[in-house]
Amino acid sequence: MRRRLKLAFIIDRKTTYRIPPHPSSPVRHVWKMVERDHAQVLGAVPRHVLGADEPADVVIRYAVSQDRCPDRPEAFCFRFVKDGGRTTLHIAAADDLGLVYGMLEYSGKYLGVDPFWFWADLSPERRSRIEIPEGDYDSPEPFVRFRGWFVNDEVCLIGWKEEYPPTSEVWEPVFEALLRCGGNMVIPGTDLPKHGVHADVAAEMGLWVTHHHAEPLGAEMFLRAYPGKKASYQENPELFETLWEKAIEKQKDRNIVWVLSFRGQGDQPFWVQDPAFDTPEKRGEMISRVVRKQYDMVRAKVTDPYCCVAFYGEISELYKAGHIHIPDDIIKIWADNGYGKMVSRRNGNENLRVPSLPELQDKGKHGIYYHVTFHDLQASNHLTLFPAPASLISGEVEQAFRAGANDYVLVNSGNIRPHVYTLDLIRELWTQGEADTEEHLQTFVRRMFPSGSPEIAALFREYAGRTVPYGPNEDDRAGDEFYHHPARQIVGHWLQGKSDQPHARLNWATGVFDFPEQVEWFRRKCAEAVPGLRELRERIEQLLPELAEPDRLRLKDHLLLHVELHLSGCEGFEALGQSYSAYRNGNYPLAFVYASQAMWNYRRGRVALQEAEHGKWANFFRADWLTNIDSTVQNMDTLRRWLRMHGDSPDFFAWYKHFLMPETEKYIYLENTHRNPLSDDELAQRLADKFGV
């Protein structure tokens, strides 16, 4: 029996499109993307028509009953329609987001535009024509109903351009990538000014907007609205409710997933400002009462609203203890610990690791708030890739789904660009409900490095095995902040003359030990990681010449940069520990040399960031205010200047004379020709050569 071949539908530079008359804002935005993509791939801006009677090759429209498109929200279908001798591709959907996803599926599947094309500098392949087998297609239902990003700790996005708050130039590529990943929900930034365009652009592009758990209903912070007033709902309920009323009124006509919550100002427990609530019962009753009030206020203005409560920090603990009661139709959001594990987060030195998932008796709808990037002043990854294996992410998210937390997934996406790999993995998880991390990695590498080598997948895989394991748990892997915040704490403690007592803020990592042992703990952990990181960097550098230039640059930006930030941090911290040891032994010149080497190593991290600021990424990392490598470099510079005063002061010539001046000159030199002190860098380098370190 002969097999019947499907006919091919042709897309080329002459392909015409018909879009709906008077298109909605989301459809207008995505049509611009399709126009751009068509021009990039086929070399000509496509012609589009609006009239229903005008012929077109690709028709973008709302579905009718005879299409038999899936009738659920956000679904779309492709239909190849015969009209005489002409075939037309119809992209049809029942609603705006369905059309958005249909148009982006066309762009990705047929024009070859990657979801992260902008963030990974991955231009689609130029082609003269594209052949599509004719065959109807119905979009599958995503595994998760609400799927989105929390664009949090977004200092790179904030500092990238001169304008503040960020303009649509910054936000549109963020939201485009989210939509291309099948996301439909976003928290567009953290505590940005009210006049910013972030929420407006998100809504215009069709996304559901939701809120930070510290900003319930998206309302203005109490102390901003009422400076000088006490932020107590017990004492000033009408003031809080006025803010909530304004927020509801402003957003009631938009697609909103309403966050109901009650935390204190500055994202901390409310009883910090209102200490009368001194028992779990009192605290739980207040949170329950406030959530119910917010719930009723929203329902009075919005028909069938979607509402959620974030079980983050103390709210999760109070709920599990039975002190918080909320209506069953509110989605309960469970959070990981910031390091990918679905347990309670570390709070200072306290790390209870209480499971953070719904239990069998927990009724209603559930979801998760998950971090692929985090900022906590301890060991989190802010500038670098998730430091634990990707299998940890898939395992924890799939476990949450099995526990019933699959109505909502909100991912802390940070500044997007450093986290493309893990955000892409989450895309697969929220779409399909599961992911084979090895298969995903292989597919991801083929997309990102089309000229590449199979070894690239191994390099990504091995990255997590080279990060610092600082604790007994699988998620206890160090991100970039591990090398900087503790290092600056150590320098401050040391220079303040407190070395005779432990630094309590380091106990989370080291345990309770004397300060010298705390310093040695960090030095040893970092030193142990250095050989593996050096070997990984060397393998990446050896592979680079084999790649085409775009892939070479992409591998530098999306892996080598991350390895260099870890390696420079480890080598910087190791040298800092050696400096402290030499100082304790009274060897101040050697301590000065090691402090200088610490500074030079940390400075390599800043150089690595600058090298990644090519082309459109100019200034992308200039607002590194959280990890703050520049601050660490300055701390090391302060330390070495302080150490140089231990024996080289006041003339800053003694160490040169003692260690570097030729013996033939030491006793006959004239001061007026030999008293030009060496700079710190030159002295440190020459002493390092002398000491052989």
pTM of the complete model beyond 0.85: yes
Q: How far apart are CA 338 and CA 378, in angstroms?
A: 11
Q: Which two tokens stand for residue 348?
A: 């200072």
Write the pLDDT tens digit of every residue in 253-304.
Answer: 999 999 999 887 777 888 888 889 999 999 999 999 999 999 999 999 999 9
Q: How far apart are CA 627 and CA 608, in angstroms?
A: 14
Q: How confident is the model at residue 3 (pLDDT cuts 50, 70, 90)?
A: very low
Question: Using an 8 Å Cβ cutoff, are 10 and 50 in contact?
Answer: no
Task: Please state the φ and ψ torsions of residue 542, each to the nearest 5 degrees.
Answer: -70, -30
Residue-level pLDDT at 670: 61
Query: How many CB atoms neighbour CB 266 within 10 A?
Result: 12
Question: Which alpha helices (H) appear in 502-628, and where do they start and end?
Answer: 507-510, 515-543, 549-555, 561-584, 588-611
Task: Please state the φ and ψ torsions of residue 312, each to the nearest 5 degrees.
Answer: -115, 130
Which residue type, as a one-letter code, is found at position 18? R
Write the pLDDT tens digit of every residue in 609-665.
Answer: 999 999 999 999 999 999 999 999 999 999 999 999 999 999 899 999 999 998 877
Q: Is the CA virtual torsion 510, 515, 521, 527 positive or negative?
A: positive
Residue-level pLDDT at 272: 83
Q: Is the CA virtual torsion 227, 230, 232, 238 positive or negative?
A: negative
DSSP 74: T
Write the pLDDT tens digit of every residue in 210-247.
Answer: 999 888 999 998 989 999 998 889 899 999 999 999 99
- CA separation, residue 432 to residues 2, 57, 342, 447 (Å): 36, 32, 20, 19
Q: Is 347 helix (H, G, I), strand (E, B) or coil?
A: strand
Q: Is the pLDDT of residue 6 over 70?
A: no
CA 45 to chain centroid, in Å, comes to 34
Write the pLDDT tens digit of every residue in 27-80.
Answer: 999 999 999 999 999 999 999 887 777 889 999 999 999 999 999 999 999 999
Q: How far apart are CA 269 and CA 263, in angstroms?
A: 5
Residues in contact with 152: Cβ distance below 8 Å, sequence separation at least 6, in sequence order: 187, 189, 190, 212, 375, 412, 413, 414
* Percent with pLDDT over 70 in the chain: 98
Question: Using an 8 Å Cβ cutoff, are 177 and 437 in contact?
Answer: no
Question: Which alpha helices (H) appear in 374-450, and where do they start and end?
Answer: 390-402, 420-432, 437-448
Give all strands (DSSP E) within 94-128, no chain letters. Answer: none
- Min mean pLDDT across 19-23, 80-84, 319-323, 666-670 is at 666-670
Q: Is the pLDDT of residue 1 over 50?
A: no
The DSSP-derived string for 167-222 is -HHHHHHHHHHHHHTT--EEE--SS--TT-SHHHHHHHTTPEE---TTSGGGPPPH
Element (H, E) at 244: helix 237-251
Write the pLDDT tens digit of every residue in 341-381.
Answer: 999 999 899 999 989 999 988 889 999 999 999 999 999 99
Q: Is the pLDDT of residue 161 over 70?
A: yes
Q: How confident is the model at residue 315 (pLDDT cuts 50, 70, 90)?
A: confident
Q: How far apart are CA 536 and CA 564, in angstroms?
A: 10
Which residue type, as a one-letter code, is found at position 589? P
Q: Is the pLDDT of residue 2 over 50?
A: no
Q: Is the pLDDT of residue 498 over 60?
A: yes
Q: How confident is the model at residue 4 (pLDDT cuts 50, 70, 90)?
A: very low
Identify which of 365, 359, 357, 443 has the alpha carbon closest to the alpha carbon of residue 395: 357
Residues in contact with 304: Cβ distance below 8 Å, sequence separation at least 6, in sequence order: none
Write the pLDDT tens digit of every residue in 97-149.
Answer: 999 999 999 999 999 999 999 999 999 999 999 999 999 999 999 999 999 99
Residue-level pLDDT at 325: 93
Q: What is the mean pLDDT of the chain?
A: 95
Question: Using an 8 Å Cβ cutoff, are 366 and 442 in contact?
Answer: no
β-pair partners for 46: none
- Min mean pLDDT across 113-127, 219-233, 418-432, 528-542 is at 219-233
Q: How far apart are CA 495 and CA 490, in angstroms?
A: 9
Diameter of the chain by CA atoms? 105
